Amino acid sequence: MTDMFANFVLFPFVFLPIVVQFFTVYVTIEFLAPWRLSKSTVGIHFLDPQGVGGMRPLGELIKKAYYYLVVGLVGYALITYAPFVDSAWTVSAAAGVIFTAVWVGTVATVAFAVFTLHRLMHREKREEIQRLERQIREHIENPWDVKNYEIPADARDEVEDLRERIERVSATSEYPATFSIWSQLLLSIAIPKAIQLILANA
């Protein structure tokens, strides 16, 4: 009765919907959201006081979604290999292949999300800086000659304002912006596979 309840009620109607919903949300966060944002005309917020173009909420969401999956992978490794339960416990080769395939898939999705977000911010910064530089050149005489260029007196305030805008745009960090974020992502990528290898060889 217990096996029948687990196989015909618990797994298909409780666990399976939770797993499907989680992976649907995960794919949306890690793949669809960055991809659609990169194809949209939303742009980035250069006046963001945090200096990340207003992308911190999406970046944090990408990290947290991946961290949840890392916890799931670690739990899967502990349950699958479980050397602490029985020394005679054996694991099929298929279990290791499935674990590695899921791990590679998660690494690929988070890499896609990070790369897409980084490329979007880099492109937006480059285009905005080029636009501002064109405006500056319109107010400068001999803009290509650093020794002889001149700024008319009536345009100096506007040129200075444009230069400040360029500095603000240039100061916007591109995600992942800091060593801390990079180290967290790289560590979270390595942990599941390292635990699996340790348990498999224990």
Q: Domain locations in the chain?
A: 2-200
Q: Which helix (H) or strand (E) holds 123?
A: helix 93-138
Cα torsion 76, 82, 83, 89: sign: negative
- Residue 202, pLDDT score: 67
Confidence of residue 33 (pLDDT cuts 50, 70, 90): very high
DSSP designation for 10 = I
pLDDT digits (tens, 9 = 90+) for 111-153: 899 899 989 999 999 999 999 999 999 999 888 888 888 999 9
| Mean pLDDT over the full length of the chain | 85
pTM over 0.85? The answer is: no
pLDDT digits (tens, 9 = 90+) for 47-91: 998 888 888 888 889 989 989 989 988 888 888 776 655 556 667
Burial class (CB in 10 A: 0-12, 13-18, 19+), 148: exposed
User: Is residue 33 within 8 Å of residue 115, measured between CB atoms?
Assistant: no
83 three-class SS: coil
